[in-house]
Structure 1
């Protein structure tokens, strides 16, 4: 006798969406997570009245109306628009690359002027067949933008010099000849009021959840409890690295509470110099309207403190948290070997960034989880 229809490993967004749909379909579900909280990497917690994104900035954005409507049942989203800025030495630039960026960099004012400078720099570089990331980036945006806003940030993020990175990593760089700082092109964008954890709580309402539970240390016992498995961890770990390790990039976060109302004036500031070890500083209160600071002063209801997080890219090794799959040719070929094994499984589903070895934005995670639910939540019952 099996107690559950599904054992779901991972209480992040993919696992929570699938668990919610499974419960609606009348299935018995057990969700486990090795961490002491639900939500995976979108987990938020309140500090000094501010919703802190524990594992880096997460802005929900999509042009998929069905996914947007789906998420609305779990939270009200504010009207946050992602408009990061970049610091290079003592200079500050708007992102993505747009007319505000070009005006600040070159002292020009029209799209024609900006296009001429970029086209001239590309022509001067004379790169016909880019052999590495550096050459690819220069051939797309010219030398000035590359050296100030791309080079250092990219090298920190990947942990390798740009001349050592393959050109295909940067297939395109967004260049906009308008004065618009909206980072995303998507039609819908925002952050849930009250944080992402509340969304996951609602998705998992009525579902059995066990935290501080490591699948690998209790694998045999857990598998006896459920007829089917949804696994959102590392697919190579599931198969005990039988073909070798897939590569990932990790992150390290330093979060602190500051005794001031407003530290940097923006939610996300990227630091593009290679010599500065972190890639960005997040000031969490700026994600939420009405508590950003710098508007009303004392008595305005704005927290007089602020919370910032410095984000450091890090190499990955076993035991560290894998955040980004290294989707180069070598690793994608290795993943295909594991995917071939996965296709042979009759009662195991792999999902999420780690289970599918693919970089997903949140809306893509939701869509993939809904697809998995639609494909698997039929004719499944407790034996």
Structure 2
């Protein structure tokens, strides 16, 4: 009989949900994480009574009422609605592309006028099957929207020219012919009142957590004290990069405390011109409708990922996808190792998808152990 039923590597959303659900059925869990804090990338750092999203803006949204009710059972969520702005050469445009955007671009006031303008630009700019991201975007929305709101932002995000990116990255572009600035279509949306740390603390309540512990420094030890390992880290690292290193894009953040009450009047402002090196500025207090006398902003700079920095966006091109399949085949052969989360599954997950994946994995494991 081993000391723990599960040692869970990673105190992010996947690991926290898995541990929480296993505790409910009487299983003993130990959660370890190499960082100094719980929560993975949803961790919030408090500055001047403002919950600062340390690893980029996290806005919870879902159409799944069960998942919405699940997270609200640990902490109440507020009514925050994501309505970002785009700044292009000093002019502001509403996102996502909607009638407000089209009025700002062209002065059109009716849906038919906007549709006609887009049809004209698409017909003038593109005729053939799209071969790259630039052609795909032009074929969907035409030159103005592409050049002002897509091109520069996308090239900064991926670190490559749009004509060198595959068309599948933009399978579709949301275009609304209503005056609606709500970025997400999902029925449920909000931010935990008091920040995401309250959600993580709720999930991990009563569960042993050890921080600043690197699983890879003593893998045999963790295997010796647990019936099963739940691994939420990089799957290629787990298998010692046997087939190569999976690629990611990463982010660099510059956070600044300002002695002004309100810096930009919105939580998220994207900067879509190529000449501005960051992709967006986050003003954190607006996520929770803060009225603090000071404010905190974060500039977000995309960058190439290198080992040692945080991997954010998997590069799901053909080469990396084929490499991941090889790692997945090895993972499927591991009887007592459970893989889950964005790094172990090499997928870009929204928060509700991570939680859904964890709950699904829990049901699979319950069927085996109960």
- TM-score between the two structures when normalised by the length of structure 1: 0.95
Any conservation in 2 of the 1:43–1:53 contact (CA below 8 Å)? yes
Instruction: Return the offset for 1:377.
Output: 2.7
Which residue of 1 is the match for residue 325 of structure 2?
A: 336
Output aligned runs, 1:151-170, within 5 Å: 151-170=151-170
Give the 3-state SS of the residue equivalent to 2:194 in structure 1.
coil
Structure 1 residue ranges (4+ consecutive) displaced by more than 6 angstroms after TM superposition: none
8 Å CA contact 1:258–1:307 kept in 2: the answer is yes
CA distance in 2: counterparts of 1:320 and 1:366, whole angstroms: 24
Task: Name the counterpart of 1:305.
Answer: 294
SS in 2 for 1:335: helix
Structure 1 equivalent of residue 359 of structure 2: 370
Measure the CA separation in 1 of the matches of 2:186 and 2:368.
Answer: 37
Shift of residue 126, structure 1, vs aligned partner: 2.7
2:71 maps to: 71
Q: Does 1:199 align with 2:199?
A: yes
Residue pairs, 1:83-122, within 5 angstroms: 83-122=83-122
- Aligned residues, how many? 370
Q: CA deviation at 1:357?
A: 0.6
CA contact (8 A) 2:31 2:208 kept: yes
* Pairwise CA distance, 1:330: 1.7
Quote the residue 2:268 is aligned against: 268
Aligned residue in 2 for 1:351: 340
Alpha-carbon separation, structure 1, partners of 2:368 and 2:122: 58
Separation in structure 1 between the aligned mates of residue 288 and residue 21 of structure 2, nearest angstrom? 29
Distance 2:314 2:181 in 1: 28
How far did 1:221 drift?
A: 1.5
The Cα of 1:46 is off from its aligned counterpart by 1.6
Equivalent residue number for residue 138 of structure 1: 138
Provide the secondary structure at the position in 1 that maps to 2:364.
helix
Give distance in 1, aligned partners of 2:186 and 2:28: 36
| CA-to-aligned-CA distance 1:272-302 (integer Å, 9 cap, x gap) | 011111110000011113x2xxxxxxxxxx2
Gaps of 5+ in 1: 292-301
Q: Identify the residue that residue 235 of structure 1 maps to in structure 2.
A: 235
- Residue 296 (structure 1) aligns with: none
Contact 2:138/2:146, CA 8 A, preserved across alignment: yes
Q: Matched residues in 2 for 1:329 and 1:286: separation?
A: 39
**1:127 CA drift (Å):** 2.9
Q: How does 1:54-65 map to 2 (within 5 A)?
A: 54-65=54-65
Pair 1:93–1:223, CA change in 2 (3 A): same
Kindly indicate whether the alpha-carbon contact (under 8 Å) linking 1:335 and 1:357 is maintained by their aligned counterparts in 2: yes
